[in-house]
């Protein structure tokens, strides 16, 4: 990569961090940093938890299929696939490059539902906190 590419990446990263910082200002009008960190921690725990579930199920022939074909991967590869799939499912991206089979489909559906509900729960929590003030 060229130096111009690195400069551009750094500028974009700084802009993103500043915009996130703007929403995390303390005060009645600002977004609570505690709620932001709570959301980040809860999402991380749920993503890691479901990744471990997919990983454990991979030992019982309930696997994630990549590119429409069943592939034999190492334990580390299976863990990486499980984490990646859990992240894209939780964050409702769902690229479709890795798909579950068997009971994994039901588990992925439950995880996607949690991914939809969590932001709403946090918004309701913020509204409730504002009303209590």
Q: pTM of the entire structure?
A: 0.76
pLDDT in tens, 108-127: 999 999 999 888 888 887 77
Range of the domain at 92: 32-123
| 42 falls within a domain | yes
| 13 falls within a domain | no
99 backbone dihedrals φ, ψ, rounded to 5°: -130, 145
Residues in the chain, how many?
A: 133
Number of compact structural domains in the chain: 1
What is the per-residue pLDDT for 133? 65
| 91 falls within a domain | yes
What is the per-residue pLDDT for 29? 55
Q: Which CATH number does the domain housing residue 107 bear?
A: 1.10.287.70
Kindly list the averaged pLDDT for each block of 10 residues, start to end, along the chain of length 133: 82 81 58 76 91 88 74 84 93 85 89 89 78 72
What is the per-residue pLDDT for 50? 92
What is the per-residue pLDDT for 28? 54
């Amino acid at each position: 990569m060229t130096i111009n590419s690195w400069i551009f990446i750094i500028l974009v990263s700084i802009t993103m961090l500043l915009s996130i910082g703007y929403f995390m200002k303390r005060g009645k009008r600002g977004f609570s940093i505690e709620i932001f960190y709570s959301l980040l921690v809860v999402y991380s725990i749920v993503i890691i938890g479901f990744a471990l579930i997919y990983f454990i199920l991979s030992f019982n022939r309930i696997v994630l299929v990549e590119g429409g074909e069943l592939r034999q991967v190492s334990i580390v590869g299976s863990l990486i696939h499980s984490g990646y799939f859990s992240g894209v499912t939780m964050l409702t991206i769902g690229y479709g490059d890795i798909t579950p089979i068997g009971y994994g489909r039901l588990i992925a559906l439950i995880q996607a539902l949690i991914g939809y509900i969590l932001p709403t729960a946090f918004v309701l929590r913020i509204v409730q906190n504002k009303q209590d003030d």
